[in-house]
Each structure stands twice: as C-alpha cells, then as structure tokens.
Amino acid sequence: MRLRTITISCILLALGQLAWPQSSVTITGRAYDADTNAALAGIEIAVALVPVRGTKVPPAAQASSASDGTFSATVAPGLYVVCIDGSRRYLNPCQWFPGTTKIDTSKTLSVDLALKKGVLLVARLHDPNGLTVAARSANPQFSGIIGPPLSVTIAAGSGAAQALPFSRNAADVWEFSSLVPAATSFTVRATSPALLLGDALGNSLAANAYQAIITTSGDSDVAAPSIPLWRYAPPAIPSTVIEFVAKGLVSP
C-alpha cells in the first residue's frame, strides 16, 4: 500500500510539472573571435525577444562575458535574438548578420557568438565658415538636434540603407561613424535640408547630395589619421574615411 502511494505521488508530481510551464529559463553561450577562436571577455550582451518588423524591442536580459568568454542570461521562455553592443572591435551580429543568433528556448538553451572584427566607416563634414551653427540658429526645427542638419546613410550591396550616426566634432569638423564589416562595398549618401554641400575639393554636388560607392578597409589595415583637435584619442581601428564640405546655406 505504501509503495502504491509513493508511485501515485510521483506520477502526480510529473503530471504537475508538465501542466505548469517553466516561468524562466537560462540561456548560456560563449563569445569568441570567429577567426582565431580566442575567448572574448567583457563583451556586453543583450537578449531580446525577436521583434516584429519595424519595431525596436528592449532587452529582456543583459550579461557580460567572463574571462573564458562564457555568459548566461535568465529570461522567460520564448524566441530571442542574442546581440552585443558593438562598441568595441566586434560587429553586432543582430545588425550585420541577422538570424545567426536567434534562439528558440523550446528547442535549445545554448547559443555561441562567433564574433567578427569590424572597421570604422567615417564621414567627415568640414565646415570652416560655421554654417552648421548658422543653420541651426536660422531654423528652429534644427535647434534641438545633436550635430549638423545632415543625414548620412550607408547601404551594403542591395541591402536597405541605415543611418550612419553622428559621433563627435572638433572645431569645424563634424564626424559621423560606425563599425561596419571589413572589405565590404557600401553606398554612402549625405543630404541636408539646410546646408549646401560640396565634395572634398569644394565642387558643388548634383541635387545637393553627396553619394559615393566605397569599399571599406581590411581588418588588418592601419587606422585613419585623426583630426588633431579631437578632445580624446580615436580608437586604433582600421578606418575608411570620406570627406565633404559645407559651402553655404540652402535658401528658404
């Protein structure tokens, strides 16, 4: 009778575990250099639910890789992407290699991050006459923006265009930059509703738009020279730099 009671209790316990879904699971993995297999410590990792197209989803959990590259993050069961912040030499796989770090916790709880080194793509606007400040003073809609009233986009191959973010300025130079894949062809386009743009030699541009097709440097190339007046040293990362100038203000 005692054996029967124990057996029934075990069956009920097992059924209870099946009936009640897990409230949390722990995703584990390892971050490493895709070319050398070396473990990467201190990589900032974000785990986010797979977003609906056109939306941005905040991280469900964050973690930092240990000295051996391992990491773990506890989340509710679901379909996730595992991303990195991309602020160091390594590319964020969610941005440049979408789908490669997707994980369905009903099938697996492990995902390794084979990270590729990137290079800097830099676009510099030279504004020796202070036209950026003048444009922001004359147009209230530009007064709250950080950086010049300028849109810089990049597109790899036939892919969708994405913004090249404003990063810093010193004196009359304004810089937009981002870490991108090495040895890759990009179409770079810069437009402004307020500034008349010219190429690096000061020549006027058709439709007031700078556009060029460039191939980024390899990841073993040297870093591009920096502007002497930068308030802090740029990272020693191989770079590809394009330059254009502000020639005047767009007439109202």
Closest C-alpha to 60, from 92, 26, 89: 26
pTM given for the model: 0.80
Nearest to 245 by CA among 215, 208, 207: 208
Query: What is the spatial distance between Cα 148 and Cα 229, in angstroms, rounded to a whole number?
Result: 18
pLDDT at 231 over 50: no
pLDDT average, residue stretch 189-201: 94
**The CATH number of the domain covering residues in 118-249:** 2.60.40
More confident residue, 18 or 64: 64
Give the pLDDT of residue 5: 47
Q: From CA 44, how far away is CA 234, in angstroms rounded?
A: 21
Q: Which residues of the chain does CATH 2.60.40.10 include?
A: 23-115
Rg (CA), the chain: 25
Query: Using 50, 70 and 90 to split pLDDT, how confident is the model at 218?
Result: confident
Report pLDDT digits (tens) over 5-60.
Answer: 445 444 444 444 444 456 999 999 999 999 999 999 999 999 999 875 555 678 89
Render the burial of 201-212: b for 16+ CB within 10 Å, e for the rest. Answer: eeeebeebebee
Classify domain 23-115 at the CATH superfamily level: Immunoglobulins (2.60.40.10)
Q: Is the pLDDT of residue 222 over 70?
A: no
Three-class SS state of 142: helix
Are the C-beta atoms of 159 and 181 separated by less than 8 Å? no
What Å distances lie between residue 114 and 97, 105, 160, CA to CA? 11, 20, 24
Average pLDDT, the chain: 85
Q: Which of 160, 86, 157 is nearest to 120 (CA)?
A: 86
